[in-house]
Each structure stands twice: as structure tokens, then as C-alpha cells.
């Protein structure tokens, strides 16, 4: 029951994010590109397959979604050990192990193409990677890495390259009861409190009060390189 509810809500969140981002990219004013899908936490590939299938389906209505590429960021070795996290026995080192080979096989069996960035975030989410990935910036971000320590690393790294009004979907806010000192919620609060960042997160209307979906807002809209106030007519 719990699992089916989770699967249905994930479909709903992904669908809303895809249609919202397609509509933002269609705007005549304050234009920006469509962006791409970044997934942090892939395990065996289920959520990546869900997004790949939905993207294919919604490309019928929004043909531009064809160009939305899927990127998966994972250790492909399961959860890391972290001293920063509370001692919740629910999250164990090595848990959710899915090897890169296994995930690639699962995902490609649905004829879904994705790119994989392998490594623990403490090592993989570098300045160099941000520069490289800024050529394919994200606008839909799914964060399912369970831990506070993983989530704060992800949020700080994404701050460098996320497109304005990107949609961030958090899978595990309620796994820790939306507690402000635990898990993903703790990471969001900490990220929003930082002064040396480009943006901040606020709950999105498409979250429908679930505290699960956030919108990435730019602090300094006039100087941000990715926040364009141009209109299509002025191109």
C-alpha cells in the first residue's frame, strides 16, 4: 500500500515537473532553455526508468522534451558511511547497492538513454564537473540520496549551475518526518541559510503543500548569467 502510494506520487511529481518546465521554456518573456533531468540516487534505476518513460509519453504533447537529457549521479556502491548523519539504523553503509552495469542494463532494456556520473558526491561533485555540466544545466532535479550529508553536498554543488526556476523533487522529506534537524529538510534549511549562494529553495505550488517539491530561485536576478530578462522578440 505504502509502496503503491509512493509510486503514484512519484509519477505525479515527475509529470508536473515535466509539464511545468516545458511551459517555462515556452515563455516569450524572461526566456531560458529547457534544461535537463538530474537524478541523485538511482539504486537499480526505477526512478530513472519512470522519468524516461514519462518523458517519452509527454514528448507527444511537448516535442521539446525530446531534447531533455537524463543524468544519473550515484556511487553505484550504495550509501556512504557518514559521521554527519544521525545514528538512524534505517540508513546503513552500502545499502541500496546497484552496480553501474546492472543499472545500465535495467534502464536500456526500456530503450531509455541516460548518462551516468559515478562516484561518491564528496569526490564526484567537483568544480570541474560543474563547469563541464553547465553545458547541460538541470531544470528538473530528483534528490533521493536519503542522507543529510549527501543532500547538502548536492544542493551546494547544484547552486553553481541550476537554471532559474528549476524544480527540485525531494524523495525523503517524510522519511524523517519533515524534521528540521534531520535528513533532507535539515539540508534544505542549511542551504537556504547560506549567504554565499546564487539561489535558494522555496516550496513550489505544484508540491500542493506536501513539502516535497521546491523551486530554485535566484537571489540577484539582474546579475545572474542564467537569468535572462530578454524576450523572444529581442533575440
Ligand X SMILES: C[S@@+](CC[C@H](N)C(=O)[O-])C[C@H]1O[C@@H](n2cnc3c(N)ncnc32)[C@H](O)[C@@H]1O
**Contact residues for ligand X, defined by CB under 6 A:** 41-44, 46-47, 74-75, 78-80, 96, 98, 120-121, 144-147, 150
Our CB check for ligand X shows the closer of 62 and 142 to be 142
Our CB check for ligand X shows the closer of 15 and 30 to be 15
Query: What φ, ψ does residue 75 adopt, rounded to 5°?
Result: -70, -25
CB 216, min distance to ligand X, A: 20
Minimal CB distance residue for ligand X: 41
Our CB check for ligand X shows the closer of 130 and 218 to be 130
CB 214, min distance to ligand X, A: 17
CB 112, min distance to ligand X, A: 14
Our CB check for ligand X shows the closer of 29 and 122 to be 122
CB 97, min distance to ligand X, A: 7
Where b means 16+ CB within 10 Å and e means fewer, 83-97 reads: eebeeeeebeeeebe
Residue with cell 518573456: 29
d(CA 68, CA 2): 30
Nine cell digits for residue 82: 557518514
CB 224, min distance to ligand X, A: 28
Sheet bearing 167-170, strands edge to edge: 115-118, 70-74, 36-40, 138-143, 167-170, 213-218, 199-203
Our CB check for ligand X shows the closer of 20 and 145 to be 145
Element (H, E) at 50: helix 46-58
Amino acid at each position: 500500500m505504502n509502496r503503491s502510494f509512493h509510486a503514484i506520487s512519484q509519477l505525479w511529481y515527475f509529470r508536473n515537473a515535466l509539464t511545468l518546465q516545458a511551459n517555462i521554456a515556452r515563455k516569450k518573456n524572461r526566456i531560458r532553455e529547457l534544461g535537463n533531468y538530474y537524478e541523485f540516487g538511482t539504486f537499480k534505476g526505477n526512478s530513472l526508468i519512470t522519468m524516461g518513460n514519462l518523458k517519452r509519453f509527454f514528448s507527444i504533447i511537448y516535442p521539446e522534451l525530446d531534447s531533455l537529457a537524463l543524468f544519473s549521479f550515484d556511487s553505484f556502491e550504495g550509501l556512504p558511511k557518514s559521521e554527519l548523519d544521525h545514528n538512524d539504523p534505517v540508513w546503513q553503509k552500502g545499502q541500496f547497492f546497484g552496480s553501474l552495469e546492472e543499472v545500465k542494463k535495467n534502464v536500456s532494456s526500456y530503450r531509455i538513454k541516460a548518462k551516468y556520473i559515478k562516484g561518491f558526491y564528496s569526490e564526484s561533485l567537483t568544480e570541474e564537473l560543474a563547469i563541464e555540466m553547465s553545458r547541460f544545466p538541470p531544470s528538473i532535479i530528483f534528490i533521493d540520496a536519503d542522507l543529510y550529508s549527501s543532500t547538502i553536498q548536492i544542493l551546494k554543488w547544484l547552486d553553481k549551475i541550476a537554471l532559474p526556476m528549476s524544480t527540485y523533487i525531494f524523495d525523503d522529506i517524510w522519511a524523517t518526518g519533515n524534521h528540521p534537524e534531520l535528513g533532507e529538510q535539515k539540508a534544505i534549511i542549511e542551504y537556504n541559510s547560506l549567504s554565499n549562494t546564487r539561489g535558494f529553495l522555496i516550496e513550489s505550488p505544484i508540491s500542493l503543500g506536501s513539502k516535497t517539491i521546491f523551486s530554485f530561485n535566484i537571489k540577484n536576478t539582474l546579475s545572474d548569467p542564467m537569468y535572462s530578462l530578454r524576450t523572444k522578440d529581442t533575440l
